[in-house]
Amino acid sequence: MSVIIPRQFPNTRLRRMRRDDFSRRLMREHTLTPADLIWPVFILEGENQREKVPSMPGVERMSLDVLVEEAREAHELGIPAIALFPVVNNDRKSELAEEAYNASGLVQRAVRALKSAVPELGIITDVALDPYTSHGQDGILDDTGYVANDRTVETLIKQALSHAEAGADVVAPSDMMDGRIEAIRQVLEQEGLHNTRIMAYSAKYASRYYGPFRDAVGSAGNLGKADKSTYQMDPANGDEALQEVAMDIAEGADMVMIKPGMPYLDVVHRVKSELQVPTFAYQVSGEYAMHMAAFDNGWLDADSTILESLMCFKRAGADGVLTYFAKRAARLLTQ
């Protein structure tokens, strides 16, 4: 329990230390650097392709050749890792998401290309089935339309293994199936992939902030009016997040993810302070889109607001942030 020392005015004037830049810097409790940022990117088939995402101004889907050049720049800016999210053609989608573990699939080829071109850059892959399913859910459906947990985990194991074998540094299960971390860890160990890290999306909420992301990867149309409340967390729950994180760490996760970000900073803080594990947060597509709308309308100053929003994550306890602002923020931080 911390002790608060009683202070009295005027002997204590807290504004004294705010008077000048040097003293503000000396007492600053948290810092933000490019090393705190992970850049999420959308990849698609083809060559020399860039497609704008209408609901995410400034964000593009990129073909692999374009991605490699962008990744080089991200590395030069000091960003330690990027996270890959595929845009899968409809003819590759199916009820059972077989394309997810295709050794020659889009993500697997992207990993190999990036590790060859920029070997020092960390590559994180999304382990989830929604880009690959014809129904847009993150798993395999049973006869009633319910996402079958254990059947889904069987496919997630294959997907994670295919990513690791391609050279992914980190596999990131974002599906929220029970038991998938332990199952993936066991297979990675069996295959000698001892150093493949697992970033578990341990507290991923059934949020309305994901809409632009689903547009970007092309799963919104497949999902339709359905939702993911039977496996993603209820936004009303905080204690449950601690339980999810503790289970994933016990099952072999190396780090955990809270998603969305700013609306759930209380969860980030609790996870970091109570469980003291490597904790990351995702400034998701809806958060990005809201910021961009305010910037485009002149309602907020872009550069200072971006950095303030990211500092909030650090203050809450996050070790790093997945953000679409990563490159822009890194440039600002290195000016």
Catalytic hit among 93, 228, 259, 272: 259
Burial of residue 230, with CB atoms counted within 10 A of its CB: 0-12 exposed, 13-18 middle, 19 or more buried: middle
Q: For residue 97, which of 147, 63, 50 has the smallest C-alpha distance?
A: 147
259 noted as active-site residue: yes
Residues facing 281 on adjacent strands? 258, 321
- 3-state SS assignment for residue 133: strand
Token digits of residue 223: 């999902």
Burial of residue 28, with CB atoms counted within 10 A of its CB: 0-12 exposed, 13-18 middle, 19 or more buried: exposed
Catalytic hit among 204, 228, 272, 327: 204
Token digits of residue 162: 């295919």
Distances (CA, A) of 37 to 74, 228, 302: 10, 28, 18
Residue type at 205 in one-letter notation: Y
Q: For residue 156, which of 187, 127, 194 has the smallest C-alpha distance?
A: 127
Active site residues: 204, 259
